[in-house]
Amino acid sequence: MRAITVDQPGGPEVLQLDEVADPVPGPGELLVEVVAAGVNRADLQQRIGVYPPPPGASGIIGLECSGRIAAVGGEVDGWQVGDPCVALLAGGGYAERVAVPAGQVVRPPDGIDLVTAGGLLEVAATVVSNADLVGLDDGETFLVHGGAGGIGSFAIQYAKQLGATVIATAGSPKKLDHCRALGADLAVSYRDDWSAAIADFTGRGVDVILDNMGAKYLDANTAALAPDGRLVIIGLQGGSRAELDLGRLLSRRCSVTATSLRGRPVEQKAAIVARVADTVWPMYAAGRIRAAPETRFGLADAAQAHSRLESGENVGKILLLP
């Protein structure tokens, strides 16, 4: 099959279209003929060599896809060759076919075309699992940094569905408009004094923060929390080491958590995927959540897709179509 491979870590140009052996589904696995593969920020880090695949995972980049079942491994029920599906992957998405544990495969949401569906699962699984973890609730205030990215575009809409007041940060007027159009109650530039704008808006701080920046924002994020506030860090775009003022957490009963979806055991991923299908897919089907705008590239143009994501110009999601 054709797949994107990387000989040496480096810039987008190291992504090469190659001929590689077809994956073979083992017991408990499904083989998916890929229709669209989502491009995620983590893929850029894998390409430059700082985010290796977990043990046992495919070395091919790509954390999610949509497609059709091409073969059913032993001990798998409920799927037939040709069924449309979407899959959460530990790797292997930038290819014509990928083998994946059956628990990480679900039907696409009703009424969503199969290409668009290829970019929905990774962000939904990340946001829903973290919202569950910190118990984001109706009536709370929720801040997402990077509201116009893949994660942010979904997080804004999902938090609104839960009944939260939503604040988003973004880097340009166009992206701030995008956050507002998705339902953000306040959209504020991360190039300005976002802490002050958020303090003014809430009066008491933010209940839950979903953070992509890590170290760079740790101090400002913990200062922005309301009493009993929860900061959950899912990205380290601003580094991994910083000083944490524990007194600030203690006096206001706040918590800081960090999570990663990719390295979770298969059973945890299966439970998260099932929860997304139960809770989020009906929201897409009913039009209560909209898929982020998409930019589509052919598989052979994976390098262009990475350049586009790196440029900061893209709004929403990027998809590769084998």
Ligand X SMILES: NC(=O)c1ccc[n+]([C@@H]2O[C@H](COP(=O)([O-])OP(=O)(O)OC[C@H]3O[C@@H](n4cnc5c(N)ncnc54)[C@H](OP(=O)(O)O)[C@@H]3O)[C@@H](O)[C@H]2O)c1
Footprint of ligand X (CB under 6 A):
40-42, 122, 126, 145-146, 148-152, 169-171, 175, 190, 212-213, 234-235, 237, 259-261, 309, 312
Closer residue to ligand X in complex, CB, 141/295: 295
Least distance between ligand X and beta carbon 14 (Å): 19
Which CB atom, from 76 or from 94, has the smaller least distance to ligand X?
Answer: 94
Give which of 264, 229, 297 is closest to 125, Cα–Cα: 264
CB of 77 vs ligand X, minimal distance in Å: 29
CB of 211 to ligand X, least distance (A): 8
Rounded to 5°, the CA angle 31-33-36 comes to 125
CA quadruple 280, 290, 190, 64: dihedral sign:
positive
C-alpha to C-alpha distance for 178 and 292, rounded to whole angstroms: 10
Least distance from ligand X to the Cβ atom of residue 124, Å? 10
Q: Are 92 and 98 in contact (CB under 8 A)?
A: yes
Q: Is the CB of 2 or the CB of 41 nearer to ligand X?
A: 41
Query: Is 158 in contact with 150 (CB distance < 8 Å)?
Result: no
Nearer to ligand X, 179 or 299 (CB): 179
Residues in the chain: 322
Question: Cα torsion for 108, 112, 118, 124, to the nearest 10°?
Answer: -70
Q: Closer to ligand X by CB, 20 or 48: give it.
A: 48
